[in-house]
C-alpha cells in the first residue's frame, strides 16, 4: 500500500497505478553532481522504489558551492556515498545505495552492472563512455537520460528504442459522445424526447446531447436528403435550424449545444497517433513474446476494422439537465461502454489463446479500452544514429529560421564534449586558457559541422566565446532547473502517462527560452 | 550540529574554492552580457551577493523550499522568509526541507533552520506572519523579492506595495534606487510560470490578472435542485448541509474546519447520502477533500523548474552577468517539454501601475445589480466586495453605508443618472492599498 496521505497531491495526477509503477522502479544516477542530485531529489520525494548513485569522485570544495545534498562534514569523503545518504533522508520509503567506482571504468570493464536498472540518468560522462553506455542500454531496452548543465545552458537527451503510452492525458480532450454517429439506444432515447409536451422548465433541461442527435436526424431527413451537414453553409443552416427549436436565447441547454456544435459535426476519426499504432508491423505480427501493449493494439485493430470507431469511453461531461435525465443518459453511455469493452475483451482473449501467451489482467484491458484515443508510441533515435547519421535538415532549418536559435548551443556543446575527449579538460576550465582555447574549440566545431554537412561559418563566434567563458561551471539554478525537467520526463517514462520529450532539449538561461529538437 | 565556524553571515570564513563555479561567471566578461566583471582587487559582485544584498522569499511551501535552497547555493547569505502556514503531511511529497517530525510546526522556521544548518555561511531569518503584517520600511530593505505563493490576493498585495514604493520624479521617470524587482512563480500539476516584474518599468502582476482563470463555480440552483455530478453533492453538503438544523453534526457548524478529519468525514458522508438519493456515483473521500479544500495537484519536479527559473533571474539581476527574462515564461510538461517566453505588456487602465482609465461598454437600461454581477465575474478585475461611486455620489457601498445604498441595486443606470462617459470609481478589499479602478462608461450604439 502506498502512503495516500503523504502522496495526495501527486496521486491526483498519476493515480495509484502510476504510483505503483514508480514504487517498483530502480533508477541509476551516474555522477552525484548538483544536476544529478537535483534530478534524484525530485524522484525520491514522490517515492521511486530505489536509486543507486555511481560516482568515483571525492567531495571537493566546489561541490559545497552548488550541491545541496552535501555539507562541510562531507569534504574528502566519497561523493556517491554522501549524496546517497543525504538523499535517503528525503523519504524513508525509498532505498538508496552507492557505488564508488569510476563510471568510465565501470562502463569499459563491467557494463552488465547497468542491466538491472529500469532507467539510467547520466551526467558529465565523457563522450566515448556515453556512446558505449547508450548503445548497451538501447540494446537492452533501458531508457537513458543524458543531462548536463553548462554555465547558463542546460541539455537533455532521451534515448530508448520504444516508449509506449497508454494515458497521454491531453489538456483539453474532446469527449467522444457519438453525436454524429449515435448507436441505436442513443438514437431511440433522443427520438423519445417530445419537446411539444414540455413546460418551460423541462424544455430548458433536456441535455444538449439528445437535442443535437434528435435535430440532426430531423434536419437531415427534412432538409438535406438524409445527408449530414458537410459544408460550412450546411453546418450554418443546421445551426439556424437548431436554434429555431429553442424557446429563447436564455435556454442554457440549447446554448451548450450551439457551443459544441461545430466540433461534434465532424465525422468520427481515429487520431493519427492511434492510426499509426494500428498500422504498425508489430500490431499484425503478434506472437508469444509480444508485449501486452501490442496484443491490445492488435485487438483494437480488429475492433476498429469491425466497428469503424474506437471503443466508447463512456463518460459524459456535466451539462444542463435535470437529475433523472442526466443519470439515465449517463447510464446509457456507461452500458454502451461496457458492451464495447466486452467485445474488445473477447478479441483480446482470442488473440491470447491463439498465440498461447500469458493472459492480460482485466484492469489493463479496461484501461487500454477506455484510453484507446490517447494511446501513443514514441521511437527515439539512438545516440549512435544522431552522431553518425545526423539530422542535418533539422539543424539547418532551425538556424536558417533564426540564427540565434538555441540549436547553436547544441552544436557548441557537442564541440565542448569533443574538446574534452581530445584535451582531457574542458575549454576555459582555467582562467589562463580562456583566450587560447578559442581557436582550438573553433576548429573542433568546424570539424563537427563539416561531418554534418553544415557550413562552418553558420555558428557565430559569440557562441564559442560564451561557452568558453563558462569553463564547465555548474550553476546551482541551472542544475536545479535541468533536474526538474529531467525528473519530470523520468516520471512520464516510468508511469507511461503523459507524453515525454522527443528527443533533445536545450534550456537557454540567458534569456530563459527553451527549445525541443528531434535530432 | 555545531559547525566549527560562526554562522553569522558577516564573519563567516568560507572554504577556499567553494564558489569557483559562480566565480567563472562573475569574473569573466562575455559577448552575451554587459557588465564589469569582478577582479581580485574589486570583487564588487561577490560582495554584493554575499554581504550587501538582502533577498526576501515570500512563501516557504513547494516553491519556497526550492527558492531558499537555490538562493543559498547562488551565494546569497542574507535572506528573509515569510510564511504564516504550518507543515501538513501532504506537503512532504515536495517540500523537501520538512520531515514527518516537523508536521504542525511553522514552515518558515523549519525551512530557515534547515538551510542555515546545511549551507554553511547562509543566514535565513524566518517570520511566521502574514505579509500584510509588515510595513513599507520593512520591504524597502530588500534588493529583490521572490514570491512563491498560491494566493492571488497575496500576490496582488505585494505587487501593489512594490509599485507604490517607486518614487517618480517630476518628469515621470522612476528613480532606479526605489525600484525593487519582484520575481513571481506559480505552479499547478505539470504546468507553471515564472515572471520578472520591474515595478513601473514592466507590466505588473495586476496587468495580467485575466491570465488567471476564475475558479470553477457551480450555479447555486443546480446544487440545490438538479445535482448531476459528485461535485454538486459535495457543494450541497458544504452550503446547505452545514446550515441544515435537521442534520446532526458532531461539531459546531460555524466552526467547520477543512483540516479536521472528523469534519471532513461528516462532509463526505453527507455528500454521499445526497448522491445516493439522486443516483449519482463517484463521491469519494478524496474528491470531497479536493472540492472542499480546492486542492491543486502539486509535484516536486514542476516546483523545481519554476523556482530555479525564478532564482536564475534573481542571480542575473543581482550580478548583471547575463541577459534576463523579458518577462514571462510559461512551462507545460503535459505533452513534451513546452515553454513559451514572451513579453507581457502593461495593461491599459491597470489599477496599480497604469494611469489610464478602463472603458466599459454597457447599456443605460442595465440595473446596478446586473452591472455589479458582471464586473464581479469579469476576470480582469477579480473583485470580491466592490463599492461603487460616481459623480461624487455613492452608488453602492459595503460596510456602514450598505443600508443606505442597497436600494440602488434595482435601479438602472439611467435612473441613477449615470450618463455616457461618466466615470465609476470601484474600490474593493482585494485591491491593494487605497487603489481604485476608474471605469469610464460607454453606451452601446444600437
Across all residues in chain A, what is the average pLDDT? Answer: 96
pLDDT in tens, A320-344: 999 999 999 999 999 999 999 999 9
How far lies B271's CA from each of A55, A328, A371, B296, in Å? 54, 20, 29, 21
A152 and A256 housed in the same domain? no
Measured between CA atoms, the residue of chain A closest to residue B298 is A9
Residue pair B379/B331 in contact (Cβ under 8 Å)? The answer is no
**Tell me, what's the pLDDT at A260?**
84
B303 and B196 housed in the same domain? yes
B169, three cell numbers: 520624479
B196 and B55 housed in the same domain? yes
Residue B11 lies in a domain: no
Q: B204, B221, B310, B311: which one is catalytic?
A: B221
For chain B, percent of residues with pLDDT exceeding 90: 70
B281 and B314 housed in the same domain? no
B18, B300, B318: best to mutate for the A interface, most A CBs within 10 A: B300
B182 and B265 housed in the same domain? no
* Nearest CB neighbour to A42, from listed B27, B279, B304: B304
Residue A1 lies in a domain: no
Q: What is the largest CA-CA distance in chain A?
A: 91
A480 and A466 housed in the same domain? no
Q: Do B299 and A501 touch (CB under 8 A)?
A: no
Closest of A174, A196, A186 to residue A216, by C-alpha: A186
Mean pLDDT of A174-190: 95
**Tell me, what's the pLDDT at B11?**
64
* Nearest CB neighbour to A488, from listed B93, B312, B333: B333
A15 and A155 housed in the same domain? yes
B160, three cell numbers: 501593489
A9, A322, A442: best to mutate for the B interface, most B CBs within 10 A: A9
Residue B176 lies in a domain: yes
Residue ending a domain, choose from A248, A264, A280: A264
B139 and B274 housed in the same domain? no
A 235-294 near B (Cβ less than 8 A): none
pLDDT band, very low/low/confident/very high, at B5 (cuts 50, 70, 90): very low
Q: Spell out the SS3 assignment of chain B.
A: CCCCCCCCCCCCCCCCCCCHHHHHHHHCCCCCCCCCCCCCCCCHHHHHHHHHCEEEEECCCHHHHHHHHHHHCCCCCEEEEECCCECCHHHCCCCCCCCHHHCCCEHHHHHHHHHHHHCCCCEEEEECCCHHHCCHHHHHCCCEEEEECCCHHHHHHHHHHHHHHCCECCCCCECHHHCCCEEEEEEECCEEEEEEECCCCCCCCHHHHHHCCCCCCCCHHHHHHCCCCHHHHHHHHHHHHCCCCCCCCCCCHHHCCCCCHHHHHHHHHHHHHHHHHCCCCCCCHHHHHHHHCCCCCCCHHHHHHHHHHHHHHHHHHHHCCCCCCCCEEEEECCECCEEEEECCCCCCCCCCCCCCCEEEEECCCCEHHHHHHHHHHCCCCCCCCCEEEECCEEEECCHHHHHHHHHHHHCECCCCCCCCCCEEEEECCCCCCCCCEEEEEEECCC
pLDDT reading at B266 higher than 60 = yes
Sheet hosting strand B191-197, strand order edge to edge: B123-127, B78-82, B54-58, B144-148, B182-188, B191-197, B328-332, B338-342
CATH number (domain holding residue B278): 1.10.10.520
pLDDT in tens, B282-331: 999 999 999 999 999 999 999 999 999 999 999 999 999 999 999 999 99
pLDDT in tens, A423-480: 999 999 999 999 999 999 999 999 999 998 898 888 999 999 999 999 999 999 999 9
CATH number (domain holding residue B205): 3.40.50.720
Range of the domain at A189: 184-264
Distance in angstroms (rounded) separating the CA atoms of residues A97 and A210: 59
Distance in angstroms (rounded) separating the CA atoms of residues B302 and B289: 23
A458 and A501 housed in the same domain? no
Q: How many domains, in total, are found in chain B?
A: 3
pLDDT reading at B433 higher than 70 = no
Residue B34 lies in a domain: yes
CA distance A234 to chain B (A): 30
**Tell me, what's the pLDDT at A210?**
97
A 396-455 near B (Cβ less than 8 A): 428, 431, 434
Range of the domain at B27: 20-212+299-342
**Neighboring chain A residues of B235 at a CB cutoff of 8 Å:** none
Q: Do A168 and B335 touch (CB under 8 A)?
A: yes
**Tell me, what's the pLDDT at B3?**
43
Mean pLDDT of B226-236: 95
**Tell me, what's the pLDDT at B232?**
96
Residue B5 lies in a domain: no
A443 and A337 housed in the same domain? no
CATH number (domain holding residue B388): 3.10.290.20
A27 and A112 housed in the same domain? yes
In this structure, the number of other CB atoms found within 10 A of the CB of residue B246 comes to 4
A39 and A91 housed in the same domain? yes
pLDDT band, very low/low/confident/very high, at B434 (cuts 50, 70, 90): low
DSSP A502: -
Residue B422 lies in a domain: yes
A279 and A258 housed in the same domain? no
Distance in angstroms (rounded) separating the CA atoms of residues B145 and A275: 50
Distance in angstroms (rounded) separating the CA atoms of residues A119 and A125: 16
B186 and B328 housed in the same domain? yes
* Nearest CB neighbour to A499, from listed B15, B299, B335: B335
A145 and A23 housed in the same domain? yes
A397 and A362 housed in the same domain? no
pLDDT in tens, A26-35: 999 999 999 9
**Tell me, what's the pLDDT at A385?**
96
Q: How many domains, in total, are found in chain A?
A: 4
Residue pair A504/B337 in contact (Cβ under 8 Å)? The answer is no
**Tell me, what's the pLDDT at B446?**
60
A73 and A162 housed in the same domain? yes
What sign for the dihedral angle of Cα A102, A107, A110, A114?
A: positive
B174 and B316 housed in the same domain? yes
A424 and A442 housed in the same domain? yes
Residue B59 lies in a domain: yes
Residue ending a domain, choose from B316, B342, B368: B342
B176 and B114 housed in the same domain? yes
Which residues neighbour B271 within 8 Å (Cβ) at sequence distance 6 or greater? B230, B233, B234, B236, B237, B241, B283, B288
B245 and B389 housed in the same domain? no
ipTM of predicted complex: 0.96
B308 and B426 housed in the same domain? no
Q: Do B93 and A9 touch (CB under 8 A)?
A: yes
Residue A364 lies in a domain: yes
Measured between CA atoms, the residue of chain A closest to residue B230 is A318
Number of inter-chain CB pairs under 8 A, A vs B = 255
A 356-375 near B (Cβ less than 8 A): none
Residue A220 lies in a domain: yes
Residue pair B184/B211 in contact (Cβ under 8 Å)? The answer is no
A 450-489 near B (Cβ less than 8 A): 461-462, 465-466, 469-471, 473-478, 480-481, 483-485, 487-489
CA atoms within 13 A on the CB side of A34: 32
In this structure, the number of other CB atoms found within 10 A of the CB of residue B319 comes to 23
pLDDT in tens, A95-152: 999 999 999 999 999 999 999 999 999 999 999 999 999 999 999 999 999 999 999 9
B329 and B429 housed in the same domain? no
pLDDT reading at B68 higher than 80 = yes
A 142-201 near B (Cβ less than 8 A): 151-152, 156, 168-171
In this structure, the number of other CB atoms found within 10 A of the CB of residue A420 comes to 17
pLDDT in tens, B20-55: 999 999 999 999 999 999 999 999 999 999 999 999
Q: Do A488 and B31 touch (CB under 8 A)?
A: no
Residue ending a domain, choose from A246, A264, A282: A264
Residue A174 lies in a domain: no
B83 and B118 housed in the same domain? yes
Catalytic: B221?
yes
Residue B322 lies in a domain: yes
CATH number (domain holding residue A84): 3.40.50.720
Residue A173 lies in a domain: no
Residue B307 lies in a domain: yes
Please provide the DSSP assignment of A325-346 as one string. HHHHHHHHHHHHHHHHHHHHHH
Distance in angstroms (rounded) separating the CA atoms of residues A37 and A26: 15
Amino acid at each position: 500500500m502506498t502512503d495516500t496521505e503523504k502522496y495526495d497531491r501527486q496521486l491526483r495526477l498519476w493515480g495509484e497505478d502510476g504510483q505503483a509503477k514508480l514504487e517498483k522502479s530502480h533508477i541509476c544516477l551516474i555522477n552525484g553532481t548538483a544536476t544529478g542530485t537535483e534530478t534524484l531529489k525530485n524522484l525520491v520525494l514522490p517515492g521511486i522504489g530505489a536509486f543507486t548513485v555511481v560516482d568515483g569522485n571525492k567531495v571537493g570544495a566546489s561541490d559545497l558551492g552548488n550541491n545541496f545534498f552535501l555539507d562541510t562534514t562531507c569534504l574528502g569523503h566519497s561523493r556517491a556515498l554522501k549524496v546517497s545518504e543525504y538523499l535517503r533522508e528525503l523519504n524513508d520509503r525509498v532505498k538508496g545505495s552507492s557505488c564508488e567506482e569510476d563510471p568510465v571504468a565501470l562502463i569499459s570493464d563491467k557494463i552488465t552492472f547497468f542491466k538491472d536498472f529500469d532507467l539510467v540518468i547520466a551526467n558529465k560522462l565523457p563522450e566515448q563512455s556515453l556512446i558505449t553506455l547508450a548503445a548497451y542500454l538501447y540494446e537492452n531496452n533501458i531508457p537513458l537520460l543524458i543531462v548536463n548543465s553548462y554555465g547558463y545552458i542546460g541539455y537533455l537527451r532521451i534515448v530508448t528504442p520504444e516508449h509506449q503510452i497508454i494515458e497521454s492525458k491531453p489538456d483539453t480532450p474532446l469527449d467522444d459522445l457519438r453525436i454524429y454517429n449515435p448507436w441505436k439506444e442513443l438514437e431511440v432515447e433522443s427520438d423519445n424526447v417530445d419537446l411539444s409536451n414540455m413546460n418551460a422548465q423541462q424544455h430548458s433541461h433536456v441535455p444538449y446531447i439528445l437535442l443535437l442527435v434528435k435535430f440532426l436526424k430531423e434536419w437531415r431527413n427534412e432538409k438535406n436528403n438524409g445527408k449530414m451537414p458537410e459544408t460550412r453553409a450546411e453546418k450554418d443552416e443546421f445551426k439556424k435550424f437548431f436554434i429555431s427549436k429553442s424557446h429563447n436565447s436564455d435556454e442554457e441547454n440549447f446554448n451548450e449545444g450551439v457551443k459544441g456544435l461545430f466540433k461534434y459535426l465532424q465525422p468520427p476519426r481515429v487520431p493519427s497517433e492511434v492510426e499509426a499504432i494500428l498500422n504498425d508491423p508489430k500490431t499484425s505480427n503478434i506472437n508469444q513474446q509480444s508485449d501486452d501493449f501490442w496484443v491490445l493494439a492488435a485487438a483494437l485493430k480488429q475492433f476498429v476494422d469491425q466497428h469503424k470507431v474506437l471503443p466508447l469511453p463512456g463518460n459524459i461531461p456535466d451539462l444542463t439537465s435535470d437529475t433523472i435525465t442526466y443519470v439515465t443518459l449517463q447510464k446509457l453511455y456507461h452500458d454502451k461502454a461496457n458492451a464495447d469493452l466486452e467485445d474488445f475483451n473477447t478479441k483480446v482473449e482470442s488473440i491470447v489463446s491463439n498465440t498461447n501467451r500469458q493472459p492480460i489482467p482485466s484492469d489493463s484491458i479496461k484501461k487500454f479500452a477506455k484510453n484507446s484515443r490517447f494511446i501513443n508510441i514514441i521511437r527515439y533515435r539512438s545516440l549512435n544514429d544522431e552522431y553518425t547519421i545526423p539530422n542535418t535538415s533539422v539543424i539547418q532549418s532551425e538556424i536558417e529560421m533564426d540564427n540565434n536559435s538555441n540549436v547553436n548551443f547544441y552544436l557548441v556543446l557537442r564541440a565542448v564534449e569533443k574538446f574534452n575527449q581530445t584535451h582531457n579538460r574542458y575549454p576555459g576550465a582555467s582562467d589562463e586558457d580562456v583566450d587560447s582555447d578559442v581557436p582550438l574549440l573553433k576548429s573542433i566545431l568546424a570539424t563537427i559541422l563539416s561531418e554534418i554537412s553544415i557550413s562552418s561559418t553558420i555558428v557565430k563566434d559569440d557562441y564559442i566565446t560564451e561557452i568558453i567563458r563558462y569553463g564547465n561551471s555548474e550553476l546551482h539554478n541551472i542544475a536545479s532547473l535541468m533536474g526538474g525537467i529531467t525528473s519530470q520526463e523520468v516520471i512520464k517514462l516510468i508511469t507511461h502517462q503523459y507524453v515525454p520529450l522527443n528527443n533533445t532539449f536545450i534550456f537557454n538561461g540567458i534569456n530563459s527560452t527553451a527549445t525541443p529538437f528531434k535530432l | 550540529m555545531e559547525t566549527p565556524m560562526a554562522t553569522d553571515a558577516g564573519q563567516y570564513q568560507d572554504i577556499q574554492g567553494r564558489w569557483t563555479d559562480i566565480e567563472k561567471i562573475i569574473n569573466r566578461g562575455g559577448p552575451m552580457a554587459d557588465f564589469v566583471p569582478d577582479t581580485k582587487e574589486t570583487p564588487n559582485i561577490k560582495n554584493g551577493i554575499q554581504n550587501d544584498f538582502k533577498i526576501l522569499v515570500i512563501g516557504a511551501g513547494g516553491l519556497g523550499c526550492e527558492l531558499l535552497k537555490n538562493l543559498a547555493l547562488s551565494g546569497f547569505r542574507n535572506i528573509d522568509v515569510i510564511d504564516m502556514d504550518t507543515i501538513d503531511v501532504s506537503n512532504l511529497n515536495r517540500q523537501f526541507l520538512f520531515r514527518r517530525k516537523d508536521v504542525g510546526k511553522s514552515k518558515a522556521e523549519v525551512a530557515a533552520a534547515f538551510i542555515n544548518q546545511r549551507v554553511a555561511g547562509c543566514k535565513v531569518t524566518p517570520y511566521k506572519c502574514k505579509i500584510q503584517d509588515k510595513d513599507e520600511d520593512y520591504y524597502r530593505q530588500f534588493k529583490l523579492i521572490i514570491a512563491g505563493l498560491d494566493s492571488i490576493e497575496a500576490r496582488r498585495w505585494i505587487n501593489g506595495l512594490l509599485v507604490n514604493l517607486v518614487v517618480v520624479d517630476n518628469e515621470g521617470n522612476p528613480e532606479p534606487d526605489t525600484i525593487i524587482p519582484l520575481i513571481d512563480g506559480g505552479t499547478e500539476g505539470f504546468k507553471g510560470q515564472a515572471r520578472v516584474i520591474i515595478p513601473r518599468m514592466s507590466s505588473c502582476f495586476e496587468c495580467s490578472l485575466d491570465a488567471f482563470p476564475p475558479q470553477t463555480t457551480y450555479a447555486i440552483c443546480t446544487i440545490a435542485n438538479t445535482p448531476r455530478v459528485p461535485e454538486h453533492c459535495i457543494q450541497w453538503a458544504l452550503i446547505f448541509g452545514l446550515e441544515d438544523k435537521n442534520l446532526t453534526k458532531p461539531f459546531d457548524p460555524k466552526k467547520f474546519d477543512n483540516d479536521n478529519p472528523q469534519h471532513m468525514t461528516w462532509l463526505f458522508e453527507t455528500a454521499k447520502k445526497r448522491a445516493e438519493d439522486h443516483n449519482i456515483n463517484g463521491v469519494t473521500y478524496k474528491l470531497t477533500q479536493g472540492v472542499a479544500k480546492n486542492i491543486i495537484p502539486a509535484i516536486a519536479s514542476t516546483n523545481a523548474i519554476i523556482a530555479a527559473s525564478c532564482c536564475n533571474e534573481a542571480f542575473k539581476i543581482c550580478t548583471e552577468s547575463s541577459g534576463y527574462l523579458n518577462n514571462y515564461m510559461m512551462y507545460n510538461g503535459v505533452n513534451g517539454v513546452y515553454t513559451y517566453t514572451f513579453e507581457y505588456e502593461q495593461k491599459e487602465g491597470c489599477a496599480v501601475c497604469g494611469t489610464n482609465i478602463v472603458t466599459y461598454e454597457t447599456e443605460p437600461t442595465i440595473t446596478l445589480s446586473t452591472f455589479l454581477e458582471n464586473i464581479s465575474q469579469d476576470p480582469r478585475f477579480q473583485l470580491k466586495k466592490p463599492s461603487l461611486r460616481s459623480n461624487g455620489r455613492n452608488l453602492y457601498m459595503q460596510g456602514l453605508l450598505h443600508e443606505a445604498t442597497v436600494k440602488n441595486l434595482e435601479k438602472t443606470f439611467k435612473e441613477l443618472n449615470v450618463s455616457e462617459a461618466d466615470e465609476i470609481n470601484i474600490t474593493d478589499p482585494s485591491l491593494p492599498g487605497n487603489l481604485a479602478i476608474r471605469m469610464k462608461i460607454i453606451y452601446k450604439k444600437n
